[in-house]
Amino acid sequence: MRSSSLISLTPMLPVALLALVALGTLVAWQGRLGHARAIVTAGLRAVVQLGAVSAVIAWVVTYSAAVAAFLLLMYGVAAFTAGRRITRGRTGWWAGAPIAAGTVPVLAVLGGSGVISADGIVVIPIAGILLGGCLTATTLAGRRAMDELTQRKGEVEAALSLGFSPRDAAMEICRPAASQALVPALDQTRTVGLVTLPGAFVGMLLGGASPVDAGIVQLVVLVALLAAQAIATVVTIELAARGHFAP
């Protein structure tokens, strides 16, 4: 038996993973959530994608051009995924704007201040965390905004009749609901250490770092992620109000 300190690599590991996927699928099916098949495909994609990344990451981080290409690939996938979620299956490439707007300046601050090094082994995981957070914020804000604008179309038209501009009328309707996309990031930051011990903290402890060092790294990640998601949420709401995600 081999161990990665946190997970024991035993023959029962694939059995446990299959059981968990089956449990999630069964619950989603019985609960009529509409995502039973998606749970299976998401699990399979995770296996393939993590396997591929594990195989190439050691090579990627040694070449600057490869690091840049990998970051662009991550960004492209995030933009494509968020766009399709917001526009219900159509490709909404405008979703790439809030993801970039949230990730790039925060990464620039971290790198420019010397808080993180320019090594690929550091930049790739930090950028991945920021991109993932901005993907979530963009998707949630975009979908809530578009749902509000669709369901409350009459209120938008009423605001227009009162002299509001199309952008301002849409903003009045969609902003309160869409801004809730920031709540998960706020809750994660507020409860860190009390409810959860996030991955960066636990990973550094398992790697031999002191609790103080691990806490500092996790603090940087959480604050950076909160800033990135706040930017992404604001930009997403602005784009929705201007009609860039409309059919």
Q: Looking at the structure, do residues 147 and 190 belong to the same domain, yes or no?
A: yes
* Beta carbons of 131 and 175 less than 8 angstroms apart: no
Last residue of a domain, one of 60, 86, 106: 60
Contacts of 43 (CB under 8 A, 6+ apart): 17, 21
Q: Looking at the structure, do residues 171 and 233 belong to the same domain, yes or no?
A: yes
Last residue of a domain, one of 31, 60, 89: 60
Q: Rounded CA gap, 26 and 52, in Å? A: 28
Is this structure's pTM higher than 0.75?
Answer: yes
Q: Looking at the structure, do residues 222 and 130 belong to the same domain, yes or no?
A: yes
Number of domains in the chain: 2
Last residue of a domain, one of 44, 60, 76: 60
Contacts of 225 (CB under 8 A, 6+ apart): 129, 130, 133, 185, 189
Strands 8-9 and 2-3: antiparallel
Give per-residue pLDDT as tens, 29-45. 999 888 899 999 999 99
What pLDDT sits at residue 188? Answer: 87
Q: Which residues partner with 3 through β-bridges?
A: 8
In terms of residue numbers, what domain contains 225? Answer: 62-241
Tokens linked to 151: 């369901």
- Calculate the average pLDDT of the chain: 88
Q: Looking at the structure, do residues 42 and 138 belong to the same domain, yes or no?
A: no
Q: Amino acid identity, residue 146?
A: M
User: pLDDT at residue 88 above 60?
Assistant: yes
Residue 247 lies in a domain: no
Q: Looking at the structure, do residues 83 and 168 belong to the same domain, yes or no?
A: yes
Q: Rounded CA gap, 169 and 104, in Å? A: 30
Percent of the chain with pLDDT over 90: 56
What mean pLDDT comes out for the span 105-114? 94
Contacts of 224 (CB under 8 A, 6+ apart): 106, 109, 110, 126, 129, 130
Q: Amino acid identity, residue 178?
A: A
Give per-residue pLDDT as tens, 177-236. 999 999 988 998 888 877 777 777 777 776 777 888 878 888 888 999 999 999 999 999
Residue 152 lies in a domain: yes
Q: What SS3 string covers 41-60?
A: HHHHHHHHHHHHHHHHHHHH
Q: Looking at the structure, do residues 187 and 115 belong to the same domain, yes or no?
A: yes
Q: Looking at the structure, do residues 36 and 68 belong to the same domain, yes or no?
A: no
Q: Rounded CA gap, 221 and 129, in Å? A: 8
Minimum mean pLDDT range among 63-72, 99-108, 131-140: 63-72
In 3D space, the residue among 74, 67, 31, 61 whose CA is nearest the CA of residue 121 turns out to be 61
What pLDDT sits at residue 89? Answer: 67
What pLDDT sits at residue 191? Answer: 87
In 3D space, the residue among 191, 153, 159, 186 whose CA is nearest the CA of residue 172 turns out to be 159
What pLDDT sits at residue 241? Answer: 93
